[in-house]
Structures are given as C-alpha cells and as structure tokens.
A and B are shown apart, each in its own frame.
Chain A
C-alpha cells in the first residue's frame, strides 16, 4: 500500500518534470534566434540566462519578455515574428514569449505570467494588456523592480515607459470609416440615401478597440459621414473566442441587406471579427446582395485575402498596419531603452531597418494604417 503510493506519486513527479523538459525543448527553440547569435549558447536554458541577467542588467545579455493579449492568433503571431527578427538582429538577447489562451484572454492570466517574470527579474517586459486599468498595479510593481515596461498594440493607462503604437486611433478611424464610406458610396448610398452600419469589437475592456470606437464615433458625428448611422449603437463584443465571433457574425450578416430595418455595412475591429464576417457571408443561406452591402475591417491580409479576391463577397478591402514591423519596433525600443541608448524623453528613435520613428509623449508611432484590397493583398504574407 505504502509502496504503491510512493511509486505512483513518484510517477506524478516524473511526469511533471518530463513536461518541464519537454516544454523546455520548445522554449529553446523559441530562443534559438538569440542562441544563434551567441556562441555555444545554443543549449543555455532561458532560465540560466535569466539568472545571469539579474546579476548584470547593464551587460549585453538582456532578457526581453513579450506578452500578447492572447496566444495563437495570426495577428499576434505576426508581431512575434517581427519581434524575433529584431532579437536576432541585435543578438545576445534572451527572448521569452507567453500569453493567455485565446478563449481566456483575461487580465488575470497576464498578471499570473507577469508575476513570474517580475519575480525572476527579466529586464524588459513588452505587453499588450487586456485591461488597461487592472494591469497597472502589476506594471508599477515591475517598474519598482527596475524592469523596463513597454506596451504595444494596446496601451495601459499607467505604469509603462513607452507605448509602441501601430497607428493613432484617429488613423485607424479614418482608415476604416473612409474605406467604408467610399465603398458604400460606390454602391449607391450617400447623404441622400443614408446607410446603417454596425461594428464588431473584441471584449468590452480592450483599450485600443475602445479608443478606435471613440474616434470613429467622433468622425461619424462630422458632417461628411453623418449619413452613416450607427443604428442604436450597434457595437458587439464577442471577445476573442472563435465560435462567439462566428455566431455574432452570422447573425449580423443575416440581418444585412437593403432597406431601413437592415444593416448595410459591418466593420470588424479585430482580426478575429473581420474574417468571421467574410466567412459568415460565404456560408449565409441566401446571401444579401453583394452590390448593396459592405463588409470591411481590421485583419491580417492572409486571413481575408480569399474574401477580398472573391468578386461576389462584399468584403473587398481590409485595414491594417504591418504587424511584423510593430513587433520589430517594440523590441528595438525596449532594447535601446534598457541599454540606455534611448532616453525617456527622446522625441525620435532610429529602429534598425525601419529607420527614424517619431516619439510623442511616450508614444512611439509606427505609421499610418494601410488599406489593402484585391490589387495589393498578395504583396503581404502575414
């Protein structure tokens, strides 16, 4: 009896250790970018590196940890690729990457991960918070420990040194609204024939989506877009989960069409929602007349290129920035700031292949939104 317990509980332990080592393999795989630059560091476990960095923060051996809103979605994956590119370019950096699962992208998960990183003393944390207020406490804690904190993609309300912003809220807003308006005009709508629009956001707490919505509403209030009606504040928050997005998209597409009671244009504000809209249209039972409705939104080109190229699909343009560059810029900024090459009050940064970038009160701006359609969608591969 005693033997049994000892034996099988030992099994538990073995298993957990196996899990560790198993996972460590892929961890090293992630850091090979760093390892490649270093000599004989190929098998240096990240943790060892972490340990030594805590000893000498100022030395070349930096640990940069990146935390997306959630893992496993190609927008953030693309950012990660860019980040790794930068890591490789600079060299001598240990790069950690982890995040909540897509169906549970919560502040709580992020805090859990952060506390781990803080406690083992990484040098730089680059994150995209799920909740701009809730996260600040933890971020401040990190800063107190001398960790450089940057946000990317979405900002935190406090506790960060820099916000690497893909594009200003107004940039996104104009991109989306203008795009939509032009398409609608082309389909015969206009000041004389107003159109109802709806928007699909992510979770209610996402800072960037909310800031975009704000400036979109501002735009809609202006005279040139006043004919775009956000019918009874039709903004939906399915969160990042795939099935929820599909569900709401299907329902929305179902109520699209011509006429006052219907919706003429839907804008996806996340790289989950927009493809879901395209798919929903494809699978709709009797498709609303493509020449009367418009689908558009933020998305990675790959995710919606088929819909854009497909003539009968009313989704013929998407809006995005270059996510890879975003990741790249974030790491560059973090690195330069950590090594002191970049001052807190700098007004510009030379970020490797991206060249000179503006910094406005702690906000590094990547550039303008890029609008892609059938003509140029194939140029991008992310």
Chain B
C-alpha cells in the first residue's frame, strides 16, 4: 500500500530532521523514552483501529485505561507480579469494552455517544472506590518500566508492542474474522448478504480491543510508583488520532495496522519534538488536533475525487 509507505517515509524524514536540528533529540535516552510512549500508543491504537475499521469508534478507552490501572495497582500493591495483574487488566478491559459493543449493536446507539456516556461512568466510579491514588507501589509493580530492558537499554514494552504489531498484522492478513471487519465497515447490508453475523462480530471486536488495551494500560500504570484515578483521562484522542493519521477512514471499511503504527510513531514524537525545538508544550494539543483534521480531510477529499472518477468510468 503506497499511502502507508509515504506516511512512513514522512515520519522517518521528520525524525531525521529533528535529530539534525535539535541536538539531543537523537540521544539514546530520548529515542527510548519516545519508543516507550510509542509502545502503549501503538498497542491501544491497534485496538482502536479494528474498531474503527468496522465503522464504529470507542472514546471510552481513556476511562477504561484508568479503571484498569487502578485495578492493577490494587493487585500489585500486595506484591503480585506482572503476569498476575496484567491478565486481570486485560480481562477487565475486555468486559468493559464488550459492554460498549453491546450498547452499540443491540440497542443501536451511535458508538460515539454510547462510549461518551460509559466514559463518564467509568471515570466517575473510580474516585469513589479509592481516595485518589494508590502510591508507594512495590518494585514488583514497576518492574516492567524500571527493570525490564532488553540489551540493557531497549524497554521491554517496546518489544511487547512490536510483537503485538506482528501478531495483529498476521491476523489481519490470515484470519477470516478480521477480513469480515472490512466487509462490515464497507457495507453492512452486503456483509449480511454474504452471511456475516454483523452484531456478534462487532461485539467480539470490541472485546478484543479491550483485551489489547489491557497491555497498553499495564505499560502506562507501571511507569511510576503511584497510580492515580485519572491515568488514562483524555488519551483516547491520541489513539484515534494515530489511527486516522494512519489512513483508516473514519467511516470504516479501509485502513491498515501498518499505517496506524506509523501514525502512533508520529504522535509519540510531537511532545518531545516541541520540547527539543524549544516550543512550549502547550502547543502539543493544537498540533495534534491539526494533524487529525488534515488527515481526515485528505481522506475525505480522496473520496470526493473518487466519486467523480466513478461517474466518468461508468461511461
């Protein structure tokens, strides 16, 4: 697919340029901290991507992440190892997202509104369960962020993300299920004619997304010794941005994981780039918003042009 490759090239060029103009940008430390951020953005965005391919969306990711983080802290506080609390988080994520899926398919509530509502519920429920934050977490909890390094300097989280990326790519290519996502996103009616159980597929998709989100949440939660109730607040926008920038059409039916990967990379660069260029971090939000709009508009314009060519072709 050329479009992703152009994006990839674009990102690489930007990266290179930054390394040249801003000294220290290329430093191992900086690159690694970028990659660490990249890792959880990518993982979560993969989940967002498969949802958006079906033409839906989930803006409750942030809230769900917060819930999972607290849950993990709860378990991890007593010294439980990562292989104990990560699965718990994944399960929790699967359930919460599946609930969204049910609302959307069974009650025909537009995805974005339904998930906006659940976001509020998730976000609001947490502070009631615990007063704000769980701190003073044991080393076993922060292991992933502090200890786990491959070759002494590559964070394990990055490897984790890349593995997941590969798995996702394989599934997208070789699984009938994931092919059917595109069909649904393209044309629900035809998908039904082709004998696809649309509702079930969408619900499962949400569950899977939640499952993957659990991994991302683990990376986010274990970054420090304290977990607050607002760890994930507002992150969903970053993920959506990554997916949209990656070339997935917001109306569903097209898009690729690879593109999303590059999109995630681009977004994880923004903040450090601004810092190293001496621009105030305050602009990062605006930059991200602009990037999304540009990406979406480009996609839309393509669509418009296609319609024109279609009519010509019909001749």
Give A267 to B149 CA distance when docked, in angstroms. Answer: 27
Chain B proximity mask over A265-301: 1 for CB below 8 Å, otherwise 0: 0000000000110111011111010000000000000
| A234, chain B: closest CB distance, angstroms | 10
- Which single member of B128, B146, B224, B234 contacts A26 (CB below 8 Å)? B128
- Which single member of B27, B28, B224, B233 contacts A246 (CB below 8 Å)? B224
Residues of A within 8 A of B227 (CB): 242
B229–A102 touching, CB < 8 Å? yes
Does B197 reach chain A (CB closer than 8 Å)?
no
Q: Determine the main DSSP class of A at the interface with B.
A: helix
Given known contacts A243-B220, A306-B139, A72 and B225 CB-to-CB distance under 8 angstroms: no
| A301, chain B: closest CB distance, angstroms | 10
A71–B223 touching, CB < 8 Å? no
**CB closest residue in chain B, given A97:** B131
- Which single member of B27, B130, B131 contacts A255 (CB below 8 Å)? B27
A103–B223 touching, CB < 8 Å? no
Residues of A within 8 A of B130 (CB): 72
Give A127 to B153 CA distance when docked, in angstroms. Answer: 45
- Which single member of B31, B146, B271, B275 contacts A283 (CB below 8 Å)? B146
Q: How many A-B residue pairs have CB under 8 A?
A: 131
A248–B281 touching, CB < 8 Å? yes
Give A246 to B133 CA distance when docked, in angstroms. Answer: 15
Q: Determine the main DSSP class of B at the interface with A.
A: mixed
Give A22 to B125 CA distance when docked, in angstroms. Answer: 12
Give A302 to B30 CA distance when docked, in angstroms. Answer: 28
Give A246 to B223 CA distance when docked, in angstroms. Answer: 8
Give A288 to B130 CA distance when docked, in angstroms. Answer: 36
Does A73 reach chain B (CB closer than 8 Å)?
yes
Residues of A within 8 A of B (CB): 22-23, 26, 71-74, 77, 101-104, 232, 236-238, 241-243, 246-248, 250-251, 253-255, 261-262, 275-276, 278-280, 282-286, 288, 302-303, 305-306
23 contacts between A and B (CB under 8 A): A26-B128, A71-B132, A74-B135, A101-B123, A102-B230, A103-B230, A232-B278, A238-B281, A241-B230, A242-B228, A242-B231, A243-B220, A251-B271, A254-B24, A255-B24, A279-B145, A284-B29, A284-B33, A285-B149, A302-B136, A303-B225, A303-B226, A306-B225
Residues of B within 8 A of A (CB): 23-24, 27-33, 36-37, 123, 127-128, 130-133, 135-136, 139, 142, 145-146, 149, 152-155, 220, 223-231, 233-235, 271-272, 275, 278, 281
Given contacts A232-B278, A283-B155, 15 further A-B contacts (CB under 8 A): A23-B128, A71-B127, A71-B132, A73-B132, A73-B133, A101-B230, A104-B233, A242-B230, A248-B275, A254-B27, A261-B24, A279-B142, A283-B36, A284-B33, A303-B225
